[in-house]
Amino acid sequence: MDYLDPKKNFQHKILLLVGYILISIAIGLSTVILLFEAYGYGVHNGQVIQNGLIVLDSQPNPANIYVNNVSKGTTNTNLTLESGIYNFKLTLNGFRTWSRKIEIDGGTIAYYDYPLLIPNKLHSSLIKGYPNIPLIFSESLNKQYLLVLDSGSNNVFDLYNLTNTKISSTQISLPANIVSQNTSGVESWNVIGWANDNTHVLLSHTFDGTKVEYILLDVANPSSSINLSQQFASYPFSSINFINLNYQNYYLYNQAAQTLDKVSLSNPGTETNVLNNVLAYDGYLNNTILYATPTEAPTGLVYINELQGNNIYHIRTFPANSTYLLDMASYSGTIYVAVGSSSLNKVYIYQDPVSQLQNLPNHNPVPIQVLFVKDPNYLNFSQNTQFIVAEGYNQFGVYDFENLHGYNYITKLPLDPPQTHAVWMDGDRMTYVSGGNLIMFEYDHNYRQILVPELAQFAPVFDGNYHNLYTISLNQKTKTYDLNQTSLINP
């Protein structure tokens, strides 16, 4: 009958209260500990430290991981490390070692899932030897087709399907009535771009020395190819580009008149003038254009504007009589705009400048990064749009939109002419030709590798999973221009 004893009842309540307090303290401490662990905090040698997480993968996979020369398992794994700077190495028998310094920040996740390990020895096999230097060597956007045109083939193209186990070509010919005959002077072909259906490719054909016409080649059905210069003859233009990579719709630019028009194959008669006084432009999706214009600009200056639908937004002012670099893309759902001027040696990068102007209409948009590059002549997003590069011959400025980090470097190996810039190989690497060899390097100039011989006139071609590399090189013995296939996964 202890519960009837007031004294014992009081003691019991005290014990319950103390128990509740101790349980609350334990729960609170556990919550704090879990919270700190979630943010990477821990205890080492009696001191509180903060850990970071690094995600490591490679191709081929798995490769051996070494951190400060200590084995840490294999790739396709996550490592938790105390914040600091570490020397990482990835090794695999028969492949060149990948290495770099990586700074681990406490409470963050760093992704290094892009390393591509190159075999120690690269073995190439001949697919076809061409008696003349090819005029065209280009692949479709989905990396399924490779289009090659021999300069002596009389407009007969070789089309290779890179998805086949055994590479072979199909010959396709342009209908004679859509191609002007070259009667004198120089004849050449160039690829302007592939459409997003991966069967239509836009070509420019120079004949009789200086005359230029534009051809839409249908590689799936060559007989339906179109001479666009004839199709749009009533709208004189000096250059043409797809609108949003759709082979039905085009921008026509007249450099002499500085006009920009829209035309459509699917809706003839709906041609419209889009802009006037255009010095340079870059189209994005269906209704957005980034362009340079002297309209309303003070004397000696040029406005860089963005046309969105029917609305014009002023982004920046540049000096006149310059070369303007313009590009825009979306990364992780956010629009990024890059504008540069060769005379200023700068490229400005903005995060959705139109939203900035809509929120603060009386203020100029503020760039998130400025890339300093001398005489920039090339501006382009990587294939996954995580990076953008501004290049002036062998000087590079790169910005990483994922990690908000910029890089500047100068390549020591010069670019072979007629190259004027490197090109993106994929979402993380770039390539160019130096000394007759193809050079590959990552976005920040890490893991520079000499691959195989290649002519500087041609960008390298890769299959969809980057297991094979395709190049054109001059065979000194046979004096032929050889199309070679090189395996990147078999040492």
User: What's the confidence (pLDDT) of residue 35?
Assistant: 42
User: What's the confidence (pLDDT) of residue 34?
Assistant: 45
448 close to 439: Cβ distance less than 8 angstroms: yes
- The strand pairing partners of 216, in sequence order, are 202, 226
Residue in the structure block whose two tokens are 């990076």: 387
Judged by DSSP in three states, 282 sits in strand
User: What's the confidence (pLDDT) of residue 151?
Assistant: 84
* b (16+ CB within 10 A) / e for 443-475: bbbbbebebbbbbbbbbbbbbeeeebbbbbbee
* Exposure on the CB side of residue 395, measured as CA atoms within 13 A: 11
Instruction: From first to last of the 491 residues of the chain, give the pLDDT tens digit.
Output: 454 566 666 666 676 666 667 676 656 555 544 444 444 445 444 454 579 999 999 999 999 999 999 999 999 999 999 999 999 999 999 999 999 999 998 888 988 999 999 999 999 999 999 999 999 999 999 999 999 999 878 889 999 999 987 888 899 999 989 999 888 878 899 999 999 999 999 999 999 988 999 999 999 999 999 999 999 999 889 999 999 999 999 999 999 999 999 999 998 878 899 999 999 999 999 999 999 999 999 999 999 999 999 999 999 999 999 899 999 999 999 999 999 999 999 999 999 999 999 999 889 999 999 999 999 999 999 999 999 999 999 999 999 999 999 999 999 999 999 999 999 999 999 999 999 999 999 999 999 999 999 999 999 999 999 999 999 999 999 999 999 999 999 87
User: What's the confidence (pLDDT) of residue 39?
Assistant: 46
- CATH top-level class for 43-112? mainly beta
For 329-346, the DSSP string reads EEETTEEEEEEEETTTTE
88 close to 99: Cβ distance less than 8 angstroms: yes
**Reading across the β-sheet that carries 246-254, which strands appear in turn?**
239-243, 246-254, 259-264, 272-276
φ, ψ of residue 291 to 5 degrees: the values are -150, 160
Q: What's the CA gap between 201 and 314, in Å, rounded?
A: 34
Please tell me if the domain spanning 43-112 has the same topology as the one spanning 134-416. no
Per-domain residue ranges for the chain? Answer: 2-38, 43-112, 134-416
Q: What's the CA gap between 485 and 232, in Å, rounded?
A: 40
CATH entry 2.130.10.10 includes domain 134-416: yes
**394 class by beta-carbon count within 10 Å (0-12 exposed, 13-18 middle, 19+ buried):** middle
Provide the 8-state DSSP code for 352. S
Residues 6+ apart with CB under 8 A from 15: none
Which amino acid is located at 257 in the chain? A
